[in-house]
Amino acid sequence: DQQVKQNSPSLSVQEGRISILNCDYTNSMFDYFLWYKKYPAEGPTFLISISSIKDKNEDGRFTVFLNKSAKHLSLHIVPSQPGDSAVYFCAASILSRAAGNKLTFGGGTRVLVKP
Amino acid sequence: EAQVTQNPRYLITVTGKKLTVTCSQNMNHEYMSWYRQDPGLGLRQIYYSMNVEVTDKGDVPEGYKVSRKEKRNFPLILESPSPNQTSLYFCASSFLVVGGYNSPLHFGNGTRLTVT
């Protein structure tokens, strides 16, 4: 059973508008969450992260929101640009030495930003 | 340039023919890991290594082996590949703890494996 789920496999948005990507998780032990972006024929690259002690983290056009009680996080991209067209993966981890740096990934959301 | 290098990028093989996918990183990372990506399932961890000579199973280790004899290298070995191992494979590395948080994983560009 998938512990991290991205229920929207794809999203299409107009350039300049907001993109909202959603992610749900089931394991309450997760305490660190990340978003990765992936272009075709490349590996995923780190975008932004958030610790479970926060409910919001912002980095330029990217903001991640965390709702621990709902076990839900979202990524907002404002404004969306054509270069943002990619697959976005939500990932979760447990911050402990024993867990190493294991990430549990969602299935991904393909974003298409139309000019 | 800091990077994770995987080879080969594409590989087509037949059932049962042993193969190795190499992975090397130049960032002096302690932690290295292999993931496979399948449609709708995201990336799933196969094996990981916390340091030289320390390896352990991830979520989908069956049919795979790894070794960590040097800090920079972490090859993935398929002793007897089967069609269900057809997938896109990613090697990743990171420091373990930076400022109380795990540092982000750096990924290679992937190896597309087809087993017929």
User: What are the pLDDT digits (tens) for A1-34?
Assistant: 789 999 999 999 999 999 999 999 999 999 999 9
Are residues B101 and A102, on separate chains, in Cβ contact within 8 Å? Answer: no
Tens digits of per-residue pLDDT, B46-63?
999 999 999 999 999 999
Model confidence at B98, in pLDDT bands (50, 70, 90)?
Answer: low
Tell me the nearest-neighbour CA distance from B29 into chain A, angstroms.
Answer: 12
Q: Which residues of B touch A93 (CB under 8 A)?
A: 102
Query: CA B85 to CA A86: how far, in whole Å?
Result: 25
Tell me the nearest-neighbour CA distance from B14 into chain A, angstroms.
Answer: 23
The answer to whether A19 and A74 have CB atoms below 8 angstroms apart is no
The answer to whether A102 and A2 have CB atoms below 8 angstroms apart is no
The predicted structure's pLDDT at residue B99? 59
The verdict on A51 touching B (C-beta cutoff 8 Å) is yes
Averaged pLDDT for residues A93-100: 78
Residue A16 CA neighbour count, 13 Å, CB half: 1
Cross-chain CB nearest to B96 (options A32, A91, A100): A100
Share of chain B above pLDDT 90, in %: 87
Query: CA A114 to CA A85: how far, in whole Å?
Result: 9
Averaged pLDDT for residues B17-29: 97
Query: CA B78 to CA A17: how far, in whole Å?
Result: 46
